[in-house]
Each structure stands twice: as C-alpha cells, then as structure tokens.
Amino acid sequence: MEAITQKLIALLREKSLVKQEVFANTFKIFRLFKDSAQDIAAEVNSQLFPNEQPVRLEYKEIDDFRFYLKFSGDVILMQMHTNVWTFPDNHKIYKSQYVEEDYRRAFCGKIMLFNFLSDSIKYNRIHDTGYSMGRLFINCDNHFFMEGERQFGFLFDNFATSVISQGITRYILQQAMIYAIEADLISDDYQTHKPVTVYEILGSDSPIATKKIVSDIL
C-alpha cells in the first residue's frame, strides 16, 4: 500500500501541478486576447468618421472565459476552455525533441475562435450555424501552436519555438476579422430548402437557458 501511496503522490506532483500551471498560463494569455481586442476596437473606431457608425467595432466581455468583437455583420467570439488537454500518441508534437525532453510540455490549455453572423445572435436564430476559425494550444512554457482555417493552419505550427505574446494575440484577432469580412455569404441551392417547417418560419418560445445565452452575448 505504501508504494501505491507514493505513486499517487508522485502523480499529483508531476501532473496536477503542471496542469495548474498550464491553466494559469492559458488564463493569462486569454487576458492578452481581451486586451488586444479592446485596443483594436478603440484604434479602429478612432479612425472612422461619424457617418461610418454602422461599421464600428464593439468589444464585450461575456464572462471570464468568453468575449466577442462585433463589427458590421459578423461576431468573432473567443472562448477559453477550463480544462487541460494532451494529444493522441501519433500527434505531430510528439515528434519534437522539445516534447521528448519533457512529456509535461504536451499538456496544453485551449482557446477557441469562432465566427457567427451578428444577426443570428440579434434575432435569436438558434438554428443558424457559425464555424470554428481556429484553436490555440498553450503549454506551461507559453509555447503554443494553432490549428485552423487558412493561415491559422500553418503560420503557428512550430510548438518548439513559437512563444505567444501580445503582438501575436493582436495579429490573430486582426487576421480573424479580415477573414470574416472577406468571407461573403453564399446562398445554397434552392432545391435543398424547398421543405420548411412552421417552427422554422414562425418560431416558438425559446427555452429559458437559450434566452439566457443569447442575452449574455447581446
């Protein structure tokens, strides 16, 4: 039994402590994203003329782990997951000497980046879909890599050398906004939407939980 106790203590020291450190790092980086979002909104809004009011940027902090930037017809929403993650044995990070030297470097926090239509939120269109633009994984050393659309899929993929900073958080948000603005809505084929339900047209009273989520974002 003593050996089992010692193994338990060793695991608590090795894994629990590093996971707490990863969470703290991820939360700190998420604050950098919030600061960068506020700076971008203030900078862009200061350069717009009064008659350009409809394209102004709005920053809103929903809670400790979610915030959004709303601009024109889009919402960029960032969310920090509260858990710490690792990866399948065949993941590319395990091919790095950086992780081979210390397996604890593979434990990462996760920050996710989403794009929604602002009208989907405004009008409570709960069946509208947004999409994931990318996600960041951050470890105990503040090293990170990113998976995602377009340049997010290859710009930040060197886990051994990429260290996150406020300049990078600002760049990621700016690129996400540009991507959202350039991605125009394209109508789908008419034949695929001929059947329609009464609910889809008239709607119904939304559940309280749904109303609360929408009100949080608005």
Confidence at residue 98, expressed as pLDDT on a 0 to 100 scale: 92
pLDDT at 4: 82
pLDDT digits (tens, 9 = 90+) for 5-35: 888 877 777 788 889 999 999 999 999 999 9
Whole-angstrom distance between the N-terminal and C-terminal Cα of the chain?
55
Strand order in the sheet with 66-71: 57-63, 66-71, 74-85, 108-117, 131-138, 144-148
Q: What is the pLDDT of residue 148?
A: 84
Task: State how far the Cα of 109 lies from the Cα of 166, in Å rounded to an integer.
Answer: 17
Note whether 29 and 111 are within 8 A (CB). Answer: yes
Quote the pLDDT of residue 17. 87
Residues contacting residue 131 through CB under 8 Å, at least 6 positions apart: 114, 115
- How many of the other CB atoms lie within 10 Å of CB of 90? 7
Q: Could you tell me whether strands 74-85 and 108-117 are parallel, antiparallel, or unpaired per DSSP bridges?
A: antiparallel
What is the identity of the amino acid at 1?
M
Q: pLDDT by residue for the chain (218 residues), tens digit each?
A: 688 888 887 777 778 888 999 999 999 999 999 999 999 999 999 888 777 776 788 999 999 999 999 988 889 999 999 999 888 888 888 888 999 999 889 999 999 999 988 888 777 777 777 888 899 999 999 999 998 877 777 788 889 999 999 999 999 999 999 888 887 555 566 566 666 666 666 665 444 444 444 445 45
Domain layout of the chain by residue ranges:
2-217
CA–CA dist 95, 82 (Å, integer):
27
Residues 6 or more apart from 146 whose CB is under 8 A from it? 134, 135, 136, 137, 152, 153, 155, 156, 157, 172
pTM of this structure: 0.82
Q: 66 pairs with which residues across the strands?
A: 63, 79
